[in-house]
Amino acid sequence: MTDALQTFASGLAAAWGPLTSELVAEACGRLARLTAASPDEPWLADLRRDAPAGRELCRDPDHGFVLMAHTEQAGLLRPPHDHGRAWVVYAVQSGEIEIRTYARIDGPDGARLVRRDATVLRPGLALAYLPGDIHDTRCLSDTALLFRFTERDLRVEDKVERRMTRYVDRGGVWRPAA
């Protein structure tokens, strides 16, 4: 019998190809359906019991995509950032996460961010962010189980290739960290 996690991974691998609107829709749909997996499935029961800060759920050996699970605590803010060349899809299995998006504005006083909007992510909804999109995440509930799908390994994108940009609050203005 195939569980929801295996169905997600094999279905996405079968649909895999270059970044297109159709592939993003496929990934969003599959991740949204994964949030409805039965809590009795062993992989999900383990996540709910262990509440890990981060755990890799699957990694496709041929295509390189990665699915992570993160247990977030109330108020945890992951400051604005992009994912370099990568695109990402977020969904929550339980709880609520707010995701705010930003535009980078370059001016005479340097780069700063201007907030565009905010969306509350609840189970059953999946949101995609494309290469260069800037966003933050904040846990609104006591805890939240967040799924993060990335089309490549973000550790390499961030720590090895240094393509991700992170932002810090400087006097009430988000500016590039470096």
139-161: pLDDT as tens digits = 999 999 999 999 998 888 888 87
* Mean pLDDT confidence for 124-153: 97
Placement of tokens 């400051």 in the chain: 79
User: Which has the closest alpha carbon to 93: 150, 36, 28, 25?
Assistant: 36
What percent of the chain shows pLDDT beyond 90? 91
Q: Classify residue 66 by burial, with Cβ atoms within 10 Å: 0-12, 13-18, 19+.
A: buried
| Contact (CB, 8 A) for 91 and 110 | no
| Contact (CB, 8 A) for 100 and 113 | no
Residue 159, pLDDT score: 82
| CATH for 100 | 2.60.120.10
* Mean pLDDT confidence for 11-40: 97
Residue 26, pLDDT score: 98
Q: What is the pLDDT of residues 66-110, one digit of tens each?
A: 999 999 999 999 999 999 999 999 999 999 999 999 999 999 999
How many domains does the chain contain in total? 1
Mean pLDDT over the full length of the chain: 95
User: Which has the closest alpha carbon to 31: 59, 9, 48?
Assistant: 9
Q: Which tokens in the block code for residue 44?
A: 């999900």
User: What is the span of the domain harbouring residue 54?
Assistant: 4-176
